[in-house]
Structure 1
Amino acid sequence: MRITLKQLAVFDAVARIGQVAKAAEHLNLSAPATSMALAELEKQLNSRLFERLGNKLHLNAQGSLLLPLASDLLHRVAQIEAAFSSQDGELVGQLNVSASSTIGNYLLAKAAVAFCQQHQESHVELDISNTQAVIQAVAECRSELGFIEGHCADRRIAVEPWHRDKLLVFCHPAHPFANKRVSPAEVTGFPWVLREEGSGTREHFVNAANALAMQPKVKFCFNTPEAIKLAVKQGAGLGVLSELTVEKELSRKELALVTVEGLALERSFYLITHKSRHPTPLGQAFIGFCQNFFNITP
């Protein structure tokens, strides 16, 4: 059996993109050459690696088994190339990172810029989505590092606490609960404006609220903090977001805090990686940089 790096690179690209033609463009190969390399790989492994659904290719069980192994090997080859092309041990290459909305927009975006300014031969490609999408990106080896706000039950993923955060309940300044301490019973029945399904912020809040039998009534849901804050400013209901996202509006008195007795809203942010994938020097350096940048204690 002679599996080539070209075959693995084609497999990796098709797995990430889902289409042979687009994978060929990404690899600067012709579509026939890309199809042939993939067919040769499946022949050598005596296994189909994809199933076609509509106009996209999706990994089957055998493909899902191969992907982390192939991605790890390709990363190791990239490390070898970078080690012999860099000067004085300078970090070189691209690091793919996925982060859920709050972490990505309010923490990692500025950390990625600062990291690349310090290591000018490196690039951090940051994809910002919700927690479930980040877990999927790491599980499929599209991202080496993931930073999430919610729970991860995927057995392929290693999870470790990374940072601390607190959610805040807020409302329009003219709301009867503005700047008040209220009981869970008083809040029951009031409309809420929350993040979308799959969001770690929503998951943590709903679990905490249900523990107090609040049963929050979701009136609106949006996938960005800005949309939620705007809706609450319009009087659509109570909102809940990370304190990182509402600091400015609270200081300007555009929003008002609501303290709900017994509602546990402190939470952890988590760093996730694929268990079958070895960390790259670039990934390890970025984790260490973020710890110093945000003054995170182990």
Structure 2
Amino acid sequence: MRITLRQLAVFEAVARSGQVAKAAEQVNLSPPATSMALAELEKQLNARLFERIGNRLQLNSQGNLLLPLAADLLHRVEQIEQAFTPQGGDLVGQLSVSASSTIGNYLLAKAAVAFCQQHTQTHVEVAITNTQDVIQSVAQFRAEMGFIEGHCTDNRLHIEPWHKDRLLVFCHPAHPLAGQTVKSFAVKGQSWVLREEGSGTREYFVNAANELGMQPESKFCFTTPDAIKLAVKQGAGLGVLSELALEKEISRKELALVTIEGLVLERQFYRITHKSRQATSLGLAFVQFCSNFFHLSRE
């Protein structure tokens, strides 16, 4: 058996992206060469590693067995290369990151662009989804690290505080509660426009609201902040989003805030990594860059 590092790199890229064409771009091969490398690996292992679901390739049980082993080996190779790279040499390579919606759209997207502009031989791929999907992505080694808004109880993962945020309740400017400070019972029975199940924003708000006996009922659920803001602008009810997502609309008075007495919506963001996966030098550099980047942005 002669498994090559190239084959394992192709396998990991296909596992992350779910598509041969995208994986080919990541490993700098043509799609036919990428398909051939994957086929040769499966032949040498005498095992299928993926199942085709629609237009995507999804890891099967054999692929899930191989992925952490391949990721660990490729990481060790990267460590060897870094150990023999002259100090001060620029960073090189690709970093796969997964982030929940608010963090991805309003923090990591701009940080990733700025990082890659500074380190021109790197590429940071940011997959934006909800908290539960981010957890699964890191747990299944599809992403080196994840950034989440909600709770994580997966004992395979290491969780550390990363950034802070505040949720705001908002409404149409003509809503009777616009600009008001009200008691919690005043919003009972109101229609709410919330994020979908699995969203960290939704989970945090519902838990805090229920502690006050509000029992918010969602009339509409959407997966993106823009859809929620549009629905609220149409008078669909009260919405809840991060202040990061509302800054523009509030300043333009396109939306209005509602303050609910006793409702504390300051929350912690978290960075998650797999306990069995050591951080790459590129990953560590990105985390440090983000810390400096957001610190300067707040000043």
TM-score (norm 1): 0.86
Match in the other structure for 1:35: 39
Match in the other structure for 1:91: 91
Cα pair distance change 1:86/1:141, threshold 3 Å: farther
Equivalent residues of 1:82, 1:92 under 8 A apart: no
Match in the other structure for 2:286: 286
For 1:242-295, what per-residue CA distance to the aligned partner results, in whole angstroms no more than 9, with x for missing partners? 011111211222111111122221110010111111101111011111111112
Deviation, 1:15, is 3.2
Secondary structure (helix, strand or coil) at the match of 2:41 reads: helix
Cα pair distance change 1:81/1:212, threshold 3 Å: same
Equivalent residues of 1:115, 1:286 under 8 A apart: yes
Match in the other structure for 1:135: 135
Cα pair distance change 1:122/1:178, threshold 3 Å: same
Which deviates the most, 148-157 or 87-96? 87-96
Match in the other structure for 1:144: 144
Cα pair distance change 1:115/1:6, threshold 3 Å: closer
Whole-angstrom CA distance in 2 between matches of 1:257 and 1:166: 13
Match in the other structure for 1:160: 160
Secondary structure (helix, strand or coil) at the match of 2:197 reads: coil
Secondary structure (helix, strand or coil) at the match of 2:164 reads: strand
Equivalent residues of 1:192, 1:239 under 8 A apart: yes
In structure 1, runs of 5+ residues without a counterpart are none
Cα pair distance change 1:2/1:155, threshold 3 Å: farther
How many matched pairs?
Answer: 291
Equivalent residues of 1:20, 1:35 under 8 A apart: no
Match in the other structure for 1:102: 102
Equivalent residues of 2:52, 2:58 under 8 A apart: yes
Deviation, 1:11, is 3.8
For 1:141-187, what per-residue CA distance to the aligned partner results, in whole angstroms no more than 9, with x for missing partners? 22112111111122221111101111000111111111112222221
Secondary structure (helix, strand or coil) at the match of 1:294 reads: helix
Secondary structure (helix, strand or coil) at the match of 1:203 reads: helix
TM-score (norm 2): 0.86
The one-letter amino acid paired with 1:94 is: Q
In structure 2, runs of 5+ residues without a counterpart are none
Matching of residue 208 in structure 1 with residue 212 in structure 2: no
Whole-angstrom CA distance in 1 between matches of 2:258 and 2:181: 6
Secondary structure (helix, strand or coil) at the match of 2:295 reads: coil
Whole-angstrom CA distance in 2 between matches of 1:142 and 1:51: 14
Secondary structure (helix, strand or coil) at the match of 1:295 reads: helix
Aligned-CA RMSD value: 2.7
Whole-angstrom CA distance in 1 between matches of 2:50 and 2:63: 9
Whole-angstrom CA distance in 1 between matches of 2:48 and 2:158: 25
Which deviates the most, 11-20 or 206-215? 11-20
